[in-house]
C-alpha cells in the first residue's frame, strides 16, 4: 500500500510540474454566426424547448399552442471570470432579431424574449410559460449564486409588475427590470432590430443599445446602462443565449445573426517586454514547480489521513456544523411554495394594508395587492376579517385545502401568515382583474377564441378538482353546511330534508333525479329521505373530460375561496 501511495504521489508531482495549473491558459469566447443552419453553427449551438434553427435563423417559439417556452444558447460556456487571477472578462455581443404577431391572428401579442447569462447548465424551470421568458417560475430559488440570472429583456407585454409599457429592460435576477427604456415595437413589427450589449469589467458597467434603423452603437438614442459586478452574482462558468416564452397570447421571436467576443485580459498585468518577460517566466515556472511539490506533500498527508480515518468509527454527520445547515434550510425555506411568511414582511408588502392597495372584498375578508421586494414578486394578500365567525377555522381549512391544489389553471397559493392575531393568505397576483369585468364590464370584449379557451380552462380545472386532486373535503354531517347566522333556530328534520333534496336534484345522472311530486312529499316529511350513493358527485359529464390532450394553456386562473382573476396576458 505504501509503494502504491508513493507511485500516486510521484505521478501527481510530475503532472503538476509538466502541466502546472498556475500556468493554465484562460480561454476567451469568440464567434460570429450569420447562418444558424450551416454545419459549424449547428455544432456550436444548443436548443431547448421550442427553440430551433430554421431557414438560417433561430425561431424561439411556436405559435400553434399557448404557454410555450424555448431557448437557443451557445453550446460552449463562457469563462466569465478566472478564480486563480481574480480577473473578470469584458465582452461585446451584437445580434439582430424581429418580433411579429401571428399572421393568422390580430390584436394582442406577447410576451417577448431575453438575452440571458446564467450558470452553466441552468435549465428551463418547469411551469415557466407566460411572462417569465422561460427563466423563472414561482419556486425558483434566486438567493444562491448558482440560480442567479442576468438578462436583457425585450418585453412586449403591457403588464403591471414592470413598467406599464413595452420596453427593453435589464433584469438582475428578477422579472422586475432595474432599469428600462421604451421599446417601440408596435410600429416596427416584423422589422429587424439591431442590438449591441457590452460589459466593461473595469467600471462594472453593462451597456445596451438597440435600433430599428441601422447599426446600434454606443451613441444610439435608445440605450441603457447599469452598474453591476458580475463576479459577485454569477459563477465562473456561465451560459449565454436567448430565452423566450408565450402565455395567453403568442408572437414570433426570430434571431437572424449573432456575434460574441470576450477576453479575460490575462496578460494585462504583464507590462514588461524582452528579457523582463523571460525572467518573469523563469520565476513563474520556479514558483509553479515548488508549489506543485508543496501541493503533492499536502495531498500525501491528506491521503494518509483519509486511510487512517477509515479505521476509525464513523463520525456523526450532524457534526458538520449548524451554520451550513441553517443556510441550506434558509435557502430551502425561501424556495418552498407555499410557505409561511412573516407578518412584518406582509405589512411592508401591502404598505400597511393601505386603502390604495385594496383589490376587492370577499365573503370572509379583504384582498390587498402586495409587493414582495426581496422576491421581486407581486401577490394578492387575503386578510380574513378578525370578527368573522370562526375565522381561525376558515383560515386553517383554506390553508389545508388550497396548499394541496397545484394546477396550471388554478391561481397558485403562495403562502400564509398567522401572527399578531391576523389570518393572512397569499395568492398569485392576477393583474388583469376578474373574468366578470371582461365579460360584463366596460373593458374591451373578449374574442371568441379567448372565451372558448377560458371554457376549456375551466373544464380542465374542474376536472382536476373532481378527479385528480386529493380529497379536499371532509365527509361528515350534512348539517355542517347550515348557515350559522340562523343560530340553530330551525327545524332539524326540515333542514335535513332540504339539504338531501338539493343533493338529490343535482344528481349528474338526470334519470336519477326526483320528480316534482317526490320533492314535495319529501319536503313535507310525507316520504322517507332517499338513500343517495356516497360517490354520486364523483361522476363527471363525459363532455368535460375530453381535454387531456389539449395544448397547455392557462385560460382562467381561479383564486380559491376568494375572488377570480383571468390571466389574459401573462
| Crossing angle for the helix pair 275-310 and 2-18, to the nearest 10 degrees | 160
456: Cα separation from own chain's centroid: 24
344 sits in which H/E element: helix 343-349
Count the Cβ atoms, other than its own, within 10 Å of residue 392.
11
End-to-end CA distance of the chain: give it in Å, rounded: 64
Q: Are 97 and 253 in contact (CB under 8 A)?
A: yes
Cis peptide before 338 (omega within 30 of 0): yes
Report d(CA 315, CA 362) in Å as an integer: 56
**Which cell goes with 259?**
456575434
Length of the chain: 570
Which helix (H) or strand (E) is 519 found in, with range? helix 516-523
Integer Cα distance of 75 and 45 in angstroms: 5
The angle at the Cα of 160, spanning 156 to 166, to the nearest 5 degrees, equals: 20
Instruction: Determine the Cα–Cα distance for residues 235 and 439; give it in Å rounded to an integer.
Output: 49
Helix (H, G, I), strand (E, B) or coil at 9: helix
Question: Could you tell me if 222 and 179 are in contact, meaning their C-beta atoms sit under 8 angstroms apart?
Answer: no
The answer to whether residues 192 and 177 touch, using CB atoms and an 8 Å cutoff, is no
In three-state form (DSSP H/G/I as H, E/B as E, the rest C), the secondary structure along 369-410 is EEEECCCCEEEEEEEECCCCCCHHHHHHHHHHHHCCCCCCCE
Q: Can you state the angle between helices 492-505 and 516-523, rounded to 10 degrees?
A: 160
Q: Would the annotation count 488 as a binding residue?
A: no
3-state secondary structure of 501: helix
Q: Which residues are annotated as a binding site?
A: 382
Q: Which residues are annotated as a binding site for ATP?
A: 382
Amino acid at each position: 500500500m505504501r509503494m502504491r501511495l508513493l507511485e500516486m504521489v510521484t505521478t501527481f508531482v510530475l503532472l503538476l510540474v509538466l502541466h502546472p495549473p498556475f500556468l493554465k491558459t484562460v480561454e476567451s469566447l469568440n464567434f460570429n454566426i450569420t447562418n444558424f443552419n450551416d454545419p459549424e453553427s449547428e455544432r456550436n449551438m444548443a436548443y431547448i424547448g421550442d427553440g430551433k434553427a430554421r431557414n438560417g435563423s433561430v425561431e424561439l417559439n411556436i405559435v400553434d399552442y399557448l404557454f410555450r417556452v424555448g431557448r437557443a444558447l451557445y453550446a460552449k460556456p463562457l469563462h466569465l471570470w478566472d478564480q486563480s487571477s481574480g480577473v473578470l472578462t469584458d465582452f461585446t455581443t451584437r445580434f439582430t432579431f424581429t418580433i411579429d404577431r401571428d399572421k393568422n391572428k390580430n390584436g394582442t401579442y406577447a410576451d417577448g424574449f431575453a438575452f440571458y447569462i446564467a450558470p452553466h447548465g441552468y435549465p428551463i424551470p418547469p411551469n415557466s410559460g407566460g411572462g417569465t421568458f422561460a427563466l423563472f417560475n414561482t419556486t425558483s430559488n434566486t438567493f444562491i449564486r448558482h440560480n442567479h440570472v442576468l438578462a436583457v429583456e425585450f418585453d412586449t407585454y403591457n403588464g403591471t409588475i414592470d413598467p406599464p409599457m413595452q420596453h427593453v429592460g435589464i433584469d438582475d435576477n428578477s422579472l422586475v427590470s432595474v432599469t428600462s427604456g421604451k421599446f417601440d415595437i408596435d410600429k416596427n413589427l416584423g422589422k429587424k432590430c439591431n442590438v449591441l450589449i457590452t460589459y466593461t469589467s473595469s467600471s462594472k458597467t453593462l451597456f445596451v443599445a438597440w435600433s430599428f434603423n441601422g447599426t446600434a452603437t454606443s451613441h444610439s438614442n435608445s440605450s441603457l446602462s447599469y452598474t453591476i459586478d458580475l463576479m459577485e452574482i454569477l459563477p465562473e462558468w456561465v451560459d449565454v443565449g436567448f430565452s423566450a416564452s408565450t402565455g395567453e397570447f403568442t408572437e414570433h421571436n426570430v434571431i437572424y445573426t449573432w456575434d460574441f467576443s470576450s477576453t479575460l485580459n490575462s496578460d494585462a498585468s504583464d507590462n514588461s517586454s524582452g528579457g523582463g518577460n523571460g525572467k518573469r517566466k523563469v520565476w513563474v515556472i520556479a514558483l509553479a514547480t515548488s508549489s506543485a511539490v508543496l501541493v503533492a506533500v499536502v495531498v500525501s498527508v491528506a491521503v494518509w489521513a483519509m486511510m487512517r480515518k477509515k479505521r476509525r468509527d464513523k463520525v456523526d454527520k450532524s457534526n458538520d456544523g449548524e451554520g451550513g445547515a441553517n443556510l441550506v434550510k434558509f435557502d430551502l425555506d425561501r424556495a418552498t411554495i407555499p410557505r409561511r411568511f412573516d407578518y412584518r414582511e406582509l405589512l411592508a408588502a401591502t404598505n400597511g394594508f393601505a386603502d390604495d392597495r385594496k383589490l376587492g372584498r370577499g365573503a370572509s375578508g379583504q384582498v390587498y395587492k402586495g409587493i414582495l421586494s426581496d422576491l421581486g414578486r407581486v401577490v394578492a394578500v387575503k386578510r380574513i376579517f378578525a370578527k368573522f365567525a370562526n375565522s381561525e377555522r376558515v383560515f386553517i381549512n383554506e390553508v389545508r385545502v388550497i396548499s394541496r391544489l397545484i394546477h396550471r389553471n388554478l391561481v397558485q397559493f403562495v403562502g400564509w401568515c398567522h401572527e399578531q392575531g391576523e389570518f393572512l393568505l397569499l395568492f398569485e397576483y392576477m393583474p388583469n382583474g376578474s373574468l366578470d369585468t371582461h365579460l360584463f364590464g366596460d373593458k374591451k370584449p373578449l374574442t371568441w377564441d379567448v372565451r372558448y379557451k377560458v371554457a376549456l380552462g375551466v373544464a380542465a380545472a374542474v376536472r382536476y378538482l373532481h378527479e385528480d386532486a386529493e380529497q379536499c373535503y371532509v365527509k361528515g354531517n350534512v348539517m355542517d353546511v347550515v348557515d350559522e347566522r340562523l343560530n340553530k333556530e330551525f327545524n332539524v328534520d326540515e333542514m335535513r330534508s332540504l339539504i338531501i333534496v338539493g343533493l338529490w336534484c343535482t344528481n349528474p345522472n338526470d334519470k336519477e333525479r326526483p320528480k316534482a311530486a317526490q320533492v314535495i312529499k319529501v319536503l313535507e316529511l310525507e316520504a322517507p329521505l332517499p338513500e343517495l350513493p356516497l360517490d354520486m358527485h364523483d361522476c363527471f359529464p363525459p363532455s368535460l373530460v375530453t381535454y387531456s390532450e389539449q395544448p397547455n394553456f392557462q385560460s382562467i386562473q381561479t383564486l380559491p375561496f376568494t375572488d377570480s382573476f383571468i390571466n389574459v396576458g401573462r
